[in-house]
Structure 1
């Protein structure tokens, strides 16, 4: 089974729960294990919060895009914004350990810890792109298949 959706959202904190609820609903309907759904929903929340905070503005007010694919045994999520992108070498990786006095960057660290594979990248002239995926585990009886 495959589920795919994409949203274009305003850079507003109220948009973050919408993206999270859509993802959790799709995973619940497909029968994804709740622990996996939770991990991905936290990672998505952090990626969306970063887009809202750092995503930049365009002539139309700015926004960001969330795309999610549940395909076979994997879920892939991409959050792209129109901001300045990640500075310097941050586009490629986030340190595995953060200093105790670090006041930012924990969201990217959480994404890295919760997902199986993560990419932090800059789209030339378009902003930052955070992509992550996770191998899915399933409940015994998916909601979608029982009716």
Structure 2
């Protein structure tokens, strides 16, 4: 069994905890181990905060507001999360290294890389940046998905 969801959020700071709660609620309901859920929720928070801060572009909501997109997949023993924005993209060095250097800026990206098993930073020319990361899941004994 698998679960996935996708949401378009306004590029506002108030949207970040909403994305985090959505993910935590999904993982709690599915029966994911709380430590894994916490790691993924922190990584998601950092990716969303990055999209809010740097992901500006042409308005992509009906009222002209800017948005970013979060998609989460829980499939088998893996969770994959993608956060896409419409900003200028990542510096070429970040995309090339796959793990950002620890510098004045970019510490959130470094944290994502440390919390996830695999991470990818990529640019979509003219359409923004995408952070995608995944992690192997551990399940509680009473989980809905882990037992199947």
Q: Normalising to structure 1: TM-score of the pair?
A: 0.91
How far is 1:61 from its partner? 2.2
Asked if residue 94 in structure 1 is aligned to residue 102 in structure 2, the reply is: no
How far is 1:32 from its partner? 0.3
The unaligned stretches of length 5 or more in structure 1 are none
Asked if residue 74 in structure 1 is aligned to residue 75 in structure 2, the reply is: no
**Structure-2 separation of matches of 1:76 and 1:134:** 7
The unaligned stretches of length 5 or more in structure 2 are none
Higher alpha-carbon deviation: 57-66 or 67-76: 57-66
CA shift in 2, pair 1:105/1:32, >3 Å:
same
CA shift in 2, pair 1:132/1:144, >3 Å:
closer
Higher alpha-carbon deviation: 104-113 or 55-64: 55-64
How far is 1:57 from its partner? 2.7
**Structure-2 separation of matches of 1:48 and 1:91:** 18
**Structure-2 separation of matches of 1:49 and 1:95:** 16
* Number of aligned residue pairs: 141
**Which residue does 1:130 correspond to in 2?**
131
**Which residue does 2:49 correspond to in 1?**
49
Q: Normalising to structure 2: TM-score of the pair?
A: 0.90
Q: Structure 1 residue runs of 4+, over 3 Å off? A: none
How far is 1:89 from its partner? 2.0
